[in-house]
Structure 1
Amino acid sequence: MKRFVLIFILFFSINGFAQDSTYTRKIINVLTSKNFWGRGYTKNGMEKAADYIFAEYKKLGLIPFSTDYKQHFSFPVNTFPGKMMVEVNGRKLIPGKDFIVDNESAGLKISSNLEKIDSLNFQGNSNLKVVLKDKLTWSVATEVADYTTVQVNRKNFTETPKSINAEIENKFVPNFDASNICGFVKGTKYPDSILIITAHYDHLGGMGAETYFPGANDNAAGVATLLSLAKYYANKPQPYSIGFICFAGEEAGLLGSRYFTEHPLVALNKIKFLINLDLVGTGESGITVVNASVYPKAFAILNKINNEHKYISKINSRGKAANSDHYFFTEKDVPAFFIYTQGGPTAYHDVFDRPETLPLTEYNDLFKLIIDFNKKLME
């Protein structure tokens, strides 16, 4: 019996920091639920997500960077809160699956014949365009065009578009209120030195009153991993302080992270390293590290750890790129990696990025790799 207990203790001393993925799954399921409406700009989706993360920070005992966990800012955004009806050739199309409207589109109500421009492009009146696409990918716009573009999935609609009946409602919000959620675990030996983990919690929100974009991989998975790391470090304070920032406004152009670097709640020169997590819900084909070639010594450390423990099948090196929230920190001379996983489901910026199809293939291994990497940075 004593031998069994000893083996049990030894096992957990080795594997104790492999975070229970049940917590991660719970976070992903909550953030992608209908109640959060794509963590975007209608039905208070982003605000609900911010409040949920705020509550998790408080539960874990994180210390706010300032007087509050929230860093407020605002920006303009084009939203689609209501009517989203499109019929082509008399056939009613399903929002998100059969069609999307371009994110900068104006609202309109129209019944019109369509003039063929070429095999993929069709014109209604001067204010309406119809485009056939192989994949429907949505985003967020901070301005409104003077026309409307409807993208139709040509895999689901094989006819030549000849007529359209549409009613689309948009609402431009010049000052949409958002907030970054910021907290930290105080270091035990060098509290003024800080390592930071970041992830954006916003997604695309909803297109009309009945269609929303869940955003499981992008980026509920990143937020869930961040919160799992926060849970670990809250129970095991480190020599350095460990900070956690969940950004808003990433999908609108990295606006939350840009605001933070322009109005930092911690001196940027105190940040020894930053790891940004975005699209980390897969991993069959390994991971990619943006800024690997910018910080070769740090990348060598990461690779050495991975080679020793065989965590990830492959770590791909990538150079500088303005493709997620690490970017403006790098521009301010804060060393940073942006890590994303590869392989698995290809859903991206569409209605199919759902929690039930997200495998979290390399979640535990990525978790352990980050823990070991941060530990090495604090030596």
Structure 2
Amino acid sequence: MVKTLASASFWGRGYTKDGMKKAADFLSAEYKKIGLLPMETDFKQEFAYPVNTFPGKMLVEINGKKLIPGKDFIINNESPGIKQKARLTKIDSLNFVANPNLHVQLKDKLTWSVATAVTNETTIEINRKNLKEIPREISIDIENKFVENFKASNICGWIKGTKQPDSILLITAHYDHLGGMGAETYFPGANDNAAGVATLLSLAKYYKTHPQPYSIGFICFAGEEAGLLGSRYFVENPLIPLSKIKFLINLDLVGTGESGMTVVNASVYPKAFSLLNKVNQEQKLISKINSRGKAANSDHYFFTERGVPAFFIYTQGGPSAYHDIFDKAETLPLTEYHDLFKLIVGFNQRIME
């Protein structure tokens, strides 16, 4: 599943080549195949937001040498399109300027993200390890397209509980990633967050064949990379009463685990964290579980702000690829995939006791 979601056919599950829409359609079909019930008449909860995209030309030459998008350079996500040739003036060892609207920065690591606005300045970040000489001139031809109302969908399903169906345990993971930068470069997003979605789907299959006293809900959020927009929209327009959610587990960046895992909100809900640790110790699953406090760093956040108890779980160790073109399925170890599955099942079971 991670390999499928991180493949070129979904083009980074983002904003060009219909990547996010294709992923949403795929996940809706998976929900139906598993046998989940939609939270409304359809699995999709639609919403929209602005986004800056780069669908076409992505050409940068430094000193006459063509650079490779994603590997040698990225464009700042708020940049407008631009076409020009210019001399570069050195500001310091890492910063260069062609004119007030065109800047070049040298970086040790290229990390991209999503922008919901466009500025007047274009900034090109270059991997300094791949640049063998001081940049003196730049030739650039980049196309951007600002989409004011990009249409996205949260994918929402559930399994009705056998004894207390009004009590809900919720499992969430965002399925969107960064999409593509230009017509030939995309960001696979295997760890971020194909691994989380794959874990969610595995849990959905398990709970479909093992009905629980409580109802179990499953939400794959869109728009997380643009600022937790899908989860915020759901909390503001809930398809289930938020007061009925007894606990939420959000899965993001769970494709490793050599160095254990971290639980955001652990210190906010110490009794639940103690319960999680107890299950882990009894079954000898994850090597180390780190405690972390409140943080607005994934889709659990707006739920917690509305009083829904929630943990955000992420694993640690393994490849360091993050928000780059190297976050690929073939290099993702999925070290603790099965143990994390068992830990969540065990924790949910204790919550329902």
After TM superposition, the score normalised by the length of structure 1 is 0.93
List aligned pairs for 1:214-293, cutoff 5 A. Answer: 214-293=188-267
Counterparts of 1:302 and 1:330 in 2: how far apart (Å)? 18
Aligned to 1:32: 6
Corresponding residue of 1:122: 96
- Cα displacement (A) at 1:158: 2.6
Q: Shift in Å at residue 78 of structure 1?
A: 0.1
> Does the residue aligned with 1:305 lie in a helix, a strand or coil?
helix
* AA at the equivalent of 2:15: Y
Q: How many residues align?
A: 353
Shift of 1:309: 1.2
After TM superposition, give the deviation of residue 352 of structure 1 in Å.
Answer: 0.1
Deviation at 1:307, TM superposition (A): 1.1
In structure 2, how many angstroms separate the alpha carbons of the residues matched to 1:312 and 1:34? Answer: 32
Provide structure 1 residue ranges, at least 5 long, that are not aligned to the other structure: 1-26
The structure 2 residue matched to 1:310, chosen from 284, 299, 318, is 284
Matches within 5 A, 1:55-134: 55-134=29-108
Paired with 2:144 and 2:133, the residues of 1 have a C-alpha distance of 28
Structure 1, residues 68-106: CA drift from partner, whole Å, max 9, x if none?
100000000000000000000111000000000000001
Q: Secondary structure at the match of 1:340?
A: strand
Using the TM superposition, name which of 269-278 and 123-132 deviates more.
123-132
Partner of 1:378: 352
Q: Which residue of 2 aligns with 1:325?
A: 299
1:205 maps to 2:179: yes
Q: Does 1:169 align with 2:132?
A: no
| SS of the residue 1:124 aligns to | strand
1:12 equivalent in structure 2: none
The letter for the 2-side match of 1:58 is: K
Equivalent residue number for residue 356 of structure 1:
330
**Structure 2: which 5+ runs fail to align?**
none
Partner of 2:134: 160
**Post-superposition offset of 1:247:** 0.1
What's 1:338 paired with?
312
Structure number, greater radius of gyration: 1
Amino acid at match of 1:55: A
- Map of 1:37-56 to 2, 5 A cutoff? 37-56=11-30
Percent identity reads: 76
Q: For residues 233 and 304 of structure 1, what CA distance do their matches in structure 2 show?
A: 22
Q: 1:308 Cα deviation (Å)?
A: 1.1
SS in structure 2 of the partner of residue 226 of structure 1? helix
Deviating above 2 A after TM superposition, structure 1's stretches of 4 or more consecutive aligned residues are none
Task: Give me the whole-angstrom Cα distance separating, in 2, the residues matched to 1:329 and 1:159.
Answer: 49
Report what 1:19 is aligned to. none
**Distance in 2 of aligned mates of 1:157 and 1:229:** 45
Q: Structure 2 CA distance, aligned partners of 1:229 and 1:287?
A: 19
Instruction: Give SS of 2:130's match.
Output: coil
Q: Distance in 2 between matches of 1:346 and 1:108?
A: 32
How far apart, CA to CA, are the structure 2 residues paired with 1:210 and 1:173?
Answer: 20
Deviations 1:252-304, CA, capped at 9 Å, x for gaps: 00000000000000000000000000000000000100000000000000001
Is 1:186 matched up with 2:160?
Answer: yes
